[in-house]
Every structure is written in C-alpha cells, then in structure tokens.
Chains A and B, each alone.
Chain A
C-alpha cells in the first residue's frame, strides 16, 4: 500500500502516541477498547482500570495545511468501578470491554460503555460559561446575610475556562449472567443490544429496568454446551436485523420481526473446513473474535485467529474474500495454545469513507485493518489485493515520515530487515484498532499506548 505505488495508495505516517513511555506496564493502563465518534472529532479509549479517556481533534490550523489536527485529551472519567458480588463471591472486573458512541443530537455527546456486567450511558458536555452576580451568594460561594442586600441584580453568564463534564445518565444493570462481549446501537438510535457468552438482550436507551432477551443459546444442561456467542452487531441500515458470531466460526443473521426470541436464524454463514488444514486446534482458531458490517451493510467482516474474512450477506456458504493475517503462526499453534495466546481476541475494522474524490473521478477504496503480534498491524486493500504490515513503535517513528513496511520471515533464510517468527514478541499484541469515519486517520492501541497515524498529505 505504501511506498512505490499508484496514486491510490495511502502512505501512513506517524502522528502521535499517547500513554506511558516506560516498559513496565501498569495493569490498569492496559487499553481495552478504542472508538472514534461519528464525526471523528472525538476518539475514546477504555482501559482495564475502568477509565475512559476521550481525545479531541483540534480544529485544523489554516497555516499548517500539511497535517490534520492533533488529538488532545478532552475528558477523562472513571466509568466503572470494581464491584464485588457477595452472593457469588466474585469480583466483577471494571475493565471497559466496549465503547460505542451515539450520533450527536445536541451540544452534548453521548456514549455507551460496558464492563462484564453493566452498561452505562454517559453524557459528555462542555461548560464554558458560568453565572456570576448572585444576590444571595458571594463570588466564592459563601452565603450573604439577606439583610445586607440593598439592591437586586440579574446574574449574567461570563466566559470561563472550558470544563468538560461527564455524567452517567443511565445505568443498565443486572441483565447479564455471563460476561458482556459486545454492545451495538441500532440504526433507529433508540435501542441497542448487548451480548454475553450465551444471551443477547435488547434495550431501549431510555429504559433501564428491563430489557428483552432476543437470543438465548444456553442449553438446558450446561454439560451440553458446545458453542458460545463471541460478538454481535446491528445492521447499519436495517433496524430489525443483527448478526452474532460464535466460537465455532459461524455467523447468524437474525430478524427481530420474525419472532420475539430470535433462536432461529434467518441466515447462517459458515465456511466448510479445509481438510488439509485440519489440526487439533482447528476449532479454537475458527472462533470468531469480531464481526463488523461494512458501511453499506452489504458485507460483513469477521476476524478469527489467523484470518480476516469478508462475507456477502447474500452468500452463506463461504466468504467472498479471505485474508491471511499471520499464516506463519499456523505451524506454532501448539505453543500458542500452551501460552494461551491462541485465545487472544483481535478486532478488525473497515476504512472510513467508502469513497474518495480523486483527481478526475470518484473511486471506491475499501481497506480493512486488523492487529497482530510484535506490535504489528495489517491492512488489506480489497481492490488492489495488496497488503501491508506496519509497526506501532516509538522507535523509528518521526512525525510525517512514512512508516516502513515490515515483513515476517516464516521459514528459511531471513532477509535483511525481516523478522523471524521466533523473535516475535507475543506479549506485544495489537487487539484494538479504529479508523476515522471520514479521513485517513487511524488509531492503533498497543498494550498501554495509543498510536495515531495519518496519511501523508502533500
């Protein structure tokens, strides 16, 4: 994609990195989710300590036309606290599993954040004025003796330093026995779904004391359990349609108009197993860790341990495209099973705009991105069929320098600048990535750092 290529190729440059520099990673700082809002002006991250940090893109500086605005901290708040469930003697982790933004309706911004058990609707609002000139209060807040008031005045609003406040508006609790892995806002912007390992619930954003169960795959006898729900998402345009993926590599599309409990899918997407690749770990690596609809809603993308697959909603029996993320790991599966890396849940994302206006024409470009190990992340251009591996690292990253493509040497002689599989650092994993909805700006989370890359503007 980068380097020598046609005019359509994006050249990615380092822009910013957020987070602690030292190698000793504090557990609470581990980033667990990254999400741009609908305009791309705000970028939210959630971490293992239950905090949400929102960055805001500064308005484009007219004089600095060669780079887009930088992202600076806009708001930080504690979304979830650790809880203790006394009945079950269990600690409920405060780690933020997912953040989803609502589209902006007024001056305030709203987002949903969830941990394993509870979803919260947060309102983020700005305050840049404050009333001054009260009659009964001094400026410092002390109350005046009413008998000393001789004249009356109307308080006026005066500007103050910008203050960004986050307040929890709704708390949606007690609807999930198992751990919540996904939340997805419906295109009606009134309802949303939350999915745990065995159930999916439908909520109304205004109503917190009840939710409707729309999928339940818990068997009567838990010993018969062979499959769990791994991710779920609403269709971007059809408010009665959603999909959920499973640990067996299947995706089910459900229509809520068909019945109240969507136990029967409308469509089942599954690719038959390739017998030549069969191993003891076949099922484990087929488990889908993320599912994302394309903006048009015509396609969906799934991520399993070794690959990214693009599905056409009209074709259930196999994906239309498959991209290998790190095929060289296929021969290392036993070791990856032993150290539990095989259970890592990588996310994936589509590029923002589906179209870009070129010099003479409007062309569609479609790129998907996902993370890997050693702080590498991968991009696949669906039109040119080219792919690239880039690294998120503080070294070798100067602003506005194009990132150098990386290459992993699977076997045999290692060329210069290549990295052999055995030297990959499996502790450095990129699980969460996000693409700006309108521009070629991407956010890539390493364990505790957030990297922002932009395409080189000439």
Chain B
C-alpha cells in the first residue's frame, strides 16, 4: 500500500477506496469498464468533498472535472454505439470477497448522487466482487457534479483588473511611457461595466447546500445579474450620488482585515450593495 499524502484518520470508506485503487494499479485483469467506474466514483467523491470546503482548489477541481467529462464522453459514445445499453456495476451487496477488505463494503456515494440506473437495461453477472461494490452513476449526475463544483468556484466578488479603481489620494500613477502599454478604449469600457458588479458578492452557501438535488432546484434562478463578467449597461450610473455612499461608509466596518488600501474597494462595494438593495426592494 502506498503511503498516504497527508495524515488523516482513515475511515472504512477511505480504506476501501485505497484497497480498490491498489487493485486498479496491480491487477491487469480488471475489465476496463470496471476500472472506469472506479475512477469515476473516485472523481465524484473528490468533487463532493471539495464542495464541502469553503474554498475548493480550482486547479484540482478542473482536473477532476475534466476526467469526469472524459469518462462521461466515453460512456455516451458507448451507449450510442450499442443498441442495448450495458452498464457495469449493479446493486450494491455486502458480500465479502477474497483478496479485499472484508468489512462488508458497500460503497455509498455521498447523498445526491443518484442510484438510479438511467441508461441500464441489461445487468452484468453479479459474480465479480469488485463490481458488487461500485454504484452506477448516471450521465446527469456527472454533469451536475461538474457544473455545481465549477459554479461554486466562480467567485462573484471577482476583482477584475482594477483599472477602474480610483487612484488613492494625489498619487498620479506614473507608468513609464516607454513600455508602450495602452489600454484599448473598448477594453476600458468593458471593465467599467464590470466594475459595477465587480465587488458584489453572493455568499458562497455551500455549507448548507450539500445535496446535489437541491442545486438542481435552484438551477433555473437567474443569477446572471450578479455575475461580475456579465457586461450590460448599468441600470444606474456607476458612481452613485455621493450622499448614498457616504452614509453607509460610516457604519460599515472594514471589508477585510488587511490594510487601509482596501478602503477604496469598500467604497465601491457599498455603492454596489446599495444599488442591489434598491433593485431587490423595488424602490
């Protein structure tokens, strides 16, 4: 067994996964669809774990999502080619089997992954012990797993290139002329529009949206207005009347714990919040 990357308490589940991945690596006789299923399950489990984190690692999430997509594509092609759809893996069973952990493994994917067989009509033989421990994952489940993790990674409070930030104080930034960098005008306009929504934030509510099924319910809510990259002409002038911004500034605490550099960001935050509140309240 290979050493673990990090010290952590191994649950039964994790031990069984480690056992399976060793089997994957060492066994040449594992049928390909089973290997694929195993990898898929591992990917989805990881994605599910990442969703629970406050800040999932974007790099890893993308790599895992791509692996799921790749498997998904393969399975789709297979199901298109064959008139009768076959999927590997069947009803979970608690058989113990030789050569593996005999703790009565029934791999339960975290809630939200459907156990329905959407494509299946023909069942394989139940004799292969490894098959017994793998659950089927439908195409929809894979897609929703990918999209939900990537959606969560979209930091709506996205600081797009801060070219629209008001320079602090009298400091006129003296960018040396000889570098020859010029912002194109249309690019600047785009960023100006983005700045309206640039620092608005919807709280990342993964803490109570653990269930993929719940995500599906919210899918049809249009959050495009809160998307920082959505470029539409602002409903109100980007710089709200100064009265509206000054008042909240006095009562609102500093946005994060770093230095006073952020005061200018907070100011933009507040005018956006103000703006959104007005829309929501409908005044």
Contacts and interface: CB of A to CB of B under 8 A. Distances in A.
Given A247-B63, A283-B70, A209 B165 contact: yes
Nearest to B201: A87
Looking at B25, B163, B230, B255, the one whose CB has the most chain A CB atoms below 10 A away is B25
A283 B4 contact: no
A175 to B, nearest CB: 6
Looking at A173, A206, A335, the one whose CB has the most chain B CB atoms below 10 A away is A335
Nearest to B166: A209
Interface stretch (A47-55, A125-133, A421-429): A421-429
B107 to A, nearest CB: 13
B36 A88 contact: no
A191 B179 CA distance: 10
Given A207-B175, A222-B154, A335-B21, A90 B55 contact: yes
B54 A90 contact: yes
A102 to B, nearest CB: 17
A275 B224 CA distance: 41
A230 B259 contact: no
B70 A261 contact: no
Nearest to A230: B59
Contacts of B60: 340, 343
B108 interface: no
A83 B67 contact: no
Contacts of A333: 25
B159 interface: yes
Interface string A328-346: 0001111111111101100
B194 to A, nearest CB: 11
A341 B162 contact: no
Contacts of B256: 83-87
B173 A87 contact: no
Interface bracket on A: 35 or more
A331 B3 CA distance: 15
A344 B2 CA distance: 15
A89 B257 CA distance: 11
B262 interface: yes
Contacts of A257: 180
Contacts of A338: 17-18, 21, 42
Interface string A193-232: 0000111011010111111110010101011011110100
Contact of A343 (B63, B147, B157): B63
A179 B258 CA distance: 17
Contacts of A213: 160-161, 163
A220 B173 contact: no
A78 B192 CA distance: 37
A268 interface: no
Given A218-B229, A280-B71, A334-B21, A86 B159 contact: no
Contacts of B160: 213
Interface residues of B, number: 76
Contacts of B59: 197, 228, 230, 247, 287, 343
Contacts of A173: 258-259, 261-262
B2 A207 contact: no
A438 interface: no
Nearest to B158: A177
Contacts of B204: 88-89
A137 B35 CA distance: 79
Contacts of B176: 190, 204
Contacts of B157: 87-88, 177
A206 B181 CA distance: 16
A334 B161 contact: no
Contacts of B187: 260-261
B239 interface: no
Contacts of A201: 161
Interface in B44-64: 54-55, 58-60, 62-64
Contact of A332 (B2, B58, B65, B153): B2
A377 B250 CA distance: 56
Contact of A283 (B54, B67, B253): B67
Given A280-B67, A280-B70, A338-B21, A228 B62 contact: yes
B170 to A, nearest CB: 12
B77 interface: no
B90 interface: no
Interface string A417-458: 000001011110000000000000000000000000000000
B217 interface: no
Interface string A265-284: 00000000000000011011
Given A173-B259, A199-B161, 11 more contacts: A86-B255, A88-B155, A90-B55, A177-B158, A207-B174, A280-B39, A284-B63, A334-B39, A335-B18, A339-B6, A422-B1
3 interchain residue pairs of minimum CB distance? A213-B161, A222-B154, A334-B24
Interface of B: 1-6, 17-18, 21-22, 24-25, 35-36, 38-39, 42, 54-55, 58-60, 62-67, 69-71, 146-147, 150-151, 153-155, 157-163, 165, 167-168, 171, 173-176, 179-184, 187, 201, 203-204, 229-230, 253-259, 261-262, 265, 269
25 contacts: A83-B257, A84-B257, A87-B256, A88-B157, A90-B54, A174-B159, A174-B265, A204-B176, A210-B162, A213-B161, A213-B163, A218-B158, A222-B150, A227-B62, A261-B187, A280-B67, A283-B67, A284-B64, A334-B21, A336-B2, A338-B21, A339-B3, A340-B6, A426-B3, A427-B5
